[in-house]
Amino acid sequence: MISGIVTRPKISHAAFAGLLAIPLCVWAAAPDEIVSTASDQQGVAVTIYNDNLALVKDARRVRLGRDFNRLAWREVSAQMQPETAQLRNVSSPAGFRLQEQNFDFDLLTPQKLLEKYVGREVGVIRTHPTTGAETRETATVLATNGGVVLKFADRIETGVPGRLAFTGVPDTLRDKPTLVISLINSTAGPQNLELSYLTHGLSWRADYVAELNERDDQLDLNGWVTLTNKSGAAYQDARLQLVAGDLNRVRDEQMPTRALMPMAAKVAEAADMQQESLFEYHLYTLQRPTTLAENQTKQVALMSATRVLVKKEFLLQGDNYYYSGQYGELGQKMKVGVFVEFVNKGEGLGIPLPKGVIRMYKKDSQGNAQFVGEDRIDHTPKNETVRLKLGDAFDLTADRKQTAFQKLAGTGRYNYVYESAYEIVLKNAKPEAVTVTVREPMPGDWTMVSESQPHAKAASGTAEWQVLVPAEGKATLTWRVRVRY
């Protein structure tokens, strides 16, 4: 051990917090500050966008002095973008102007307080383990990096040898995020002020719960808005609005689990959320005030629809790579996808649906709702089709192979002509017959030479067949196609 230096074992942050004693332990504003808290609030409005962004409008009634004022606006979002903050005097705008604003987000903690006292004196209080008598010394804080280094009159010690006493809290440390605004005001007395700013930490998403009927041809759909507040502030009885759409935002070059929603009963009052067009987006307004508590997730009803007509599809999707080469076997026991789709129209629907996840349920033979799949939808206008992939069918499989391949023409890089033939055997273990859509993307300029059943040209580069597969049986689809590149 180096002479004159006493080392002590490190202690945890929680234990360290209990060693601090501040005679002026309650945070106090600077003498020249006018402090505004949430108790001055006349109303608050929050507009939340899709991309972890929100606009907060905080209206308060504050008593200002004439001419120069230094206003400490407390209980703002800890993730405020201070460059977007704008303070307006609603009641007396004439002669009201801003000079400077500072966002103090360096919050008071034992560690932060100690860091602010580097180079300054603190009191060190020790308690005798037997008698309980207290002794007090004065020490200078030399460093706080990775531990505490204290300089006493006759020695240097590391670690915290007792309780530390501080004479006060520096003005730059706040117990809550605070926007400090220097302003000129022409009229003394109570003023109606409104602070608006953009902030991170507030987000929303749409979640949907759907239940299929026994025949898979209808569903009941409930939509919810899931709100999450991690902004570091609470918004009491806020007017809440949500914007659905993809806004363009300027981003820095470098930027710093969802829970499964349980099955819910029918939404009683989905009309709580009203929607309207806003520029090229859609605005949803909650028709009653709601409180967004700090570190809280809450759900608000968005929409509800019953007996929505559904189309169910079994789809086997192909690929285009095997039309220009010789391959043979292309897959055994291939999965057949299960899709459902419905049109966004009718009673309860016919509104713009914000992007989100639709979770699908279906009742079993005992009447218990079971989860059968989920898919994500994009923003969906009214009258558009919503298509969901729920998974792969257990009882349907397919074997695909190339039965012939021939190069008919082509040299160099262009004017290649290939002719190839294919066979797909679809197997159905269900007790009822099903129809499977076989979709094949066709490359280049293609011509169907022969086929076991007629195809439909779904698009310029896509051929589709609707193949009926008997119960507990199989069906074979064959085709030959000529492709020119």
Q: Span 118-129, mean pLDDT?
A: 92
pLDDT confidence band for 272 (50 / 70 / 90):
low
Contact 124, 150 (CB under 8 A): yes
Residue 76 confidence (pLDDT): 94
For residue 91, pLDDT beyond 90: yes
168 HSE (CA, 13 A, CB side): 6
Domains and their CATH numbers in the chain? 5-26+118-165 (no CATH), 311-344+385-484 (2.60.40)
Residue 366 confidence (pLDDT): 93
Contact 292, 390 (CB under 8 A): no
Average pLDDT value over all residues in the chain: 87
User: Which residues, in sequence order, are bridge partners of residue 149?
Assistant: 143, 158
Question: What is the side-by-side strand order in the sheet with 149-151?
Answer: 5-6, 156-158, 149-151, 134-143, 121-127, 163-165, 20-21
Residue 251 confidence (pLDDT): 61
What's the distance, Cα to Cα, between the start and end of the chain in Å?
A: 82
Work out whether strand 97-104 and strand 178-185 pair parallel, antiparallel, or are unpaired. Answer: antiparallel
Phi, psi dihedrals of residue 417, rounded to the nearest 5° = -130, 125
Instruction: Output 2 or 414, whichever has higher pLDDT.
Output: 414
Question: Over the chain, what HEC string results?
Answer: CCCCEECCCCCCHHHHHCCEECCCCCCCCCCCCEEECHHHEEEEEEEEECCCEEEEEEEEEEEECCEEEEEEEECCCCCECHHHCEEEECCCCCCCEEEEEEEECCECCHHHHHHHCECCEEEEEEECCCCCCEEEEEEEEEECCCCCEEECCCCEEECCCCEEECCCCCCCCECCCEEEEEEEECCCEEEEEEEEEEECCEEEEEEEEEEECCCCCEEEEEEEEEEEECCCCCEEEEEEEEEECCCCCCCCCCCCCCCCCCCCCCCCCHHHEEEEEECCEEEEEECCCEEECCCEEEEEEEEEEEEEECEEEEEEECCCHHHCCCCCEEEEEEEEEEEEEEECCCCCCCCCECCEEEEEEEECCCCCEEEEEEEEECCECCCCEEEEEEEEEEEEEEEEEEEEEEEEEEECCEEEEEEEEEEEEEEECCCCCEEEEEEEECCCEEEEEEECCCCEEEECCEEEEEEEECCCEEEEEEEEEEEEC
Residue 160 confidence (pLDDT): 82
**Cα 192 to chain centroid, rounded:** 34
Residue 29 confidence (pLDDT): 54
Distance CA 464, CA 459 (A): 9
Q: Of 24-33, 170-179, 297-306, give the lowest mean pLDDT range.
A: 24-33
Distance CA 2, CA 394 (A): 74
Q: How many other CB atoms sit within 10 Å of the CB of residue 466?
A: 13
Give the residue from 438, 439, 447 showing the smallest Cα distance to 468: 438
User: Which residues, in sequence order, are bridge partners of residue 301?
Assistant: 224
Instruction: Output 36 or 272, whichever has higher pLDDT.
Output: 36
For residue 157, pLDDT beyond 70: yes
Query: In this predicted model, what pLDDT tens digit does every residue of 30-42 receive, in sequence order?
Result: 558 899 999 999 9
Contact 361, 209 (CB under 8 A): yes
For residue 145, pLDDT beyond 90: no
Distance CA 400, CA 477 (A): 10
Query: In this predicted model, what pLDDT tens digit does every residue of 192-248 receive, in sequence order?
Result: 999 999 999 999 999 999 999 999 999 999 999 999 999 999 999 999 999 987 667
Contact 271, 188 (CB under 8 A): no
Token pair, residue 157, equals 């010690």
Contact 469, 425 (CB under 8 A): no
Q: Span 269-289, mean pLDDT?
A: 76
For residue 287, pLDDT beyond 70: yes
Residue 110 confidence (pLDDT): 86
pLDDT confidence band for 250 (50 / 70 / 90):
low
Distance CA 354, CA 304 (A): 14
Degrees, nearest 5: CA angle 149-174-178? 150
Q: What percent of the chain clears pLDDT 90, i.e. is strictly above it? A: 69
Indicate the burial class of 446 (C-beta count within 10 angstroms; 0-12, 13-18, 19 or more): buried
Q: Of 85-89, 106-110, 340-344, 435-439, give the lowest mean pLDDT range.
A: 106-110
Query: In this predicted model, what pLDDT tens digit does every residue of 408-439 receive, in sequence order?
Result: 987 766 788 999 999 999 999 999 999 999 99
Q: Which residue carries 């820095």 as its tokens?
A: 252
For residue 22, pLDDT beyond 70: no
Q: Which residue carries 């030479």 as its tokens?
A: 449
Q: Span 50-72, mean pLDDT?
A: 94
Q: Which residue carries 């209206």 as its tokens?
A: 59
**Cα 291 to chain centroid, rounded:** 19
Q: Span 269-273, mean pLDDT?
A: 54
Query: In this predicted model, what pLDDT tens digit does every residue of 260-269 receive, in sequence order?
Result: 333 334 444 4
Q: Of 5-19, 102-116, 180-194, 208-222, give the lowest mean pLDDT range.
A: 5-19
Q: How many other CB atoms sit within 10 Å of the CB of residue 114?
A: 18
Instruction: Output 246 or 125, whichever has higher pLDDT.
Output: 125
Residue 55 confidence (pLDDT): 96
Q: Which residue carries 């005001």 as its tokens?
A: 185
pLDDT confidence band for 176 (50 / 70 / 90):
confident
Residue 202 confidence (pLDDT): 95
Query: In this predicted model, what pLDDT tens digit does every residue of 362-390 receive, in sequence order?
Result: 999 999 999 999 999 999 999 999 999 99
Distance CA 260, CA 208 (A): 11
